[in-house]
Chain A
Amino acid sequence: MNREDFPMLDNEIYYFDNGATTLKPRSVIDAIKDYYEHYGANAHRGDYDFSLKVDKMYEVVREKVKNFINADDSAEIIFTSGATASLNMIIDGFFKYHLKSGDEVLITKAEHASLTLPWFVLAEKIGIVIKYIDLDDKLEVTLDNVKKAMTNKTKVIALAHIPNVVGDIRPIKEISSYAHEQGVYVVVDGAQSVPHTKTDVRELNIDFLAFSGHKMLGPTGIGVLYGKYDLLNELKPLFVGGGMNSSFTSLNEYELKSLPWRLEAGTPNIAGVIGLGAAIDYINSIGIDKITLHDQKLKKYAIDKLRKLNNIELYNPDTKGGIVAFNVKGVFSQDTAVYLNKYKICVRAGNHCAKLLKDNLGINNTCRLSFYLYNAKEEIDYLVNVLNNDKILEESL
């Protein structure tokens, strides 16, 4: 739907790499251009007219994000450079000070490096223990398996709402309800879910959430860290500098501002924030639930068609998110991607930064299709037609 709003689609591409990044609608591009052309001042600083407009626009977006994820308070919304920065801040700025040696953190082997590696580093620093929730035979996370993995040392459950290869929609609400009964924190990587499914942080009752703007039609370099106010208030800034302090003296004394500004040192990515605001407006104008349905319909359509080809191996046919992991039998995933590129079809090949998933998947690398609102059934027909070829390896050369 709405394909005419996306200038990139004028390039005659078949874009199925939305898990990596999404295309931008004209309205997002225009909002960024408008900032640079008509009110390109810094935020929180000036007294002239258009600098005030910057402040206003910047904080309006914070409000939009708050409403988009149904947070309690706009002070719970921190602008970061992306989900990676948000997760590093949560883990290194909060959990480093709230966990101790021997405490256990539960993750899964389907998680992205941006969630996994900050915990590895924290384990090196303070001796926490990382444990893995078992994935079931469909590679999904179940509440039962979460319960099985919990011990009296478990302090945190950290996982994606929708992981970037398997694409299952995890039962976050049930997991956090159970976790909170045991006094366990819940950290959610929303990079693949916030753009695709309604994320209500209060209903899901999650403690921290991280997501990126560029995977939801916004610009690169902007993301969000959400935390419940009382927790976020204890998160130590990883960066200090301008905009986040209220005073400092030559006696090395300093005072920091309140939330949210305390966690946004330096000139923020103002154009990015404004672009993110336009992206949220765009998504709201369509309706996130409609996008969820569209993704799911495309996934089902693609699976039904790909199943009819006898050269395709499917790895996650039953999960609900709009992600299809597959290989062409006997062809290395990268060779398949290079072959598809000859037909202007954009897919991603590799381990997709989920390098532990091979333990469950039995293979290292897959091709991944990830859909978004502008993808169409006709594009899938074209893809399936191109894949219906027993000379893919030869023709990739």
Chain B
Amino acid sequence: MENNLRRAIILENYSNPFNKGLVSDDSYKRVNMNNESCIDNIDLMIKIDSNIIADIRFDGEACAISTSATSIIIKTLLNKSVDEALHIIGEYEAMINEEKYNADDLGEAIVYNEIYKQPNRKKCALLPVNGIKKILVEHKGIK
């Protein structure tokens, strides 16, 4: 992807993040992600309906990478089944960690395909999926 486009997508998602703002609704499961290695701090809430991700919302204070990644990942995972979502997260993690991955599964999240060049930013890019994964894995365990 061309650098200017990559930047533009990240900036757009940072300035106008998708689904930012929490709602008070007990049908969502919640998790707080406080990045231990930096200062990002986000709350995530997920609604799962019959094994489909019906909604994900977030709020918090985080850097441009964490915030935009949360926005983009939410868009990518909406309306996917829990297993599909976990698969996409796996591909995303592989990309961030510079392992083999399938770009077709990632949609817009492909904008982080060069984040490995800034090792101090990898944790920022992984923050939202770590949180989402936690809830999804928990959901599978309970089911």
Contact = CB atoms under 8 A, between A and B. Distances in A.
B103 interface: no
B10 interface: yes
B86 interface: no
A336 to B, nearest CB: 9
Given A334-B38, A338-B121, A350-B38, A365 B61 contact: yes
B40 A334 contact: yes
Given A364-B61, A365-B61, A393-B64, A334 B11 contact: no
Q: Which of A351, A364, A394 has the most CB of B within 10 A?
A: A394
A334 B61 CA distance: 11
A396 B14 CA distance: 13
Interface in A257-309: none
Given A394-B7, A394-B11, A397-B10, A335 B38 contact: no
Interface residues of B, number: 17
Contact of B39 (A341, A351, A393): A351
Contacts of B7: 394, 397
Contacts of A335: 63-64
Interface in B30-44: 38-40
Q: Which of B6, B11, B63, B65 has the most CB of A within 10 A?
A: B63
Nearest to A365: B39
A333 interface: yes
Interface in B107-141: 118, 120-121, 124
A65 interface: no
B64 A396 contact: yes
A166 interface: no
B121 A350 contact: no
Contacts of B65: 397
A396 B10 CA distance: 11
Given A338-B118, A338-B121, A397 B64 contact: yes
Interface in B45-97: 61-65
A158 B53 CA distance: 51
Contacts of B61: 332, 364-365
B120 A393 contact: no
Contact of B63 (A334, A341, A351, A364): A334
A332 B11 contact: no
B38 A332 contact: no
Contacts of A349: 39
B65 to A, nearest CB: 7
Nearest to B7: A397
Interface in A199-234: none
Contacts of A351: 39
Interface string A332-361: 111100100100000001110000000000
Nearest to B3: A397
B39 A338 contact: no
B38 A397 contact: no
B110 to A, nearest CB: 15
Q: Which of B62, B64, B121 has the most CB of A within 10 A?
A: B64
A198 to B, nearest CB: 34
Contacts of B64: 332, 335, 393, 396-397
Contact of A397 (B11, B40, B62, B120): B11
Nearest to B120: A338
A273 to B, nearest CB: 31
Contacts of B39: 333-334, 349-351, 364-365
A365 B40 CA distance: 10
Contacts of B14: 393
Given A333-B39, A335-B63, A338-B120, 10 more contacts: A332-B61, A332-B64, A334-B63, A334-B124, A335-B64, A350-B39, A393-B11, A394-B7, A397-B64, A397-B65
The 5 closest A-B pairs by CB, nearest first: A350-B39, A334-B63, A332-B63, A335-B64, A335-B63
13 contacts: A332-B64, A334-B38, A334-B39, A335-B64, A341-B120, A350-B38, A351-B39, A364-B39, A394-B11, A396-B64, A397-B10, A397-B64, A397-B65
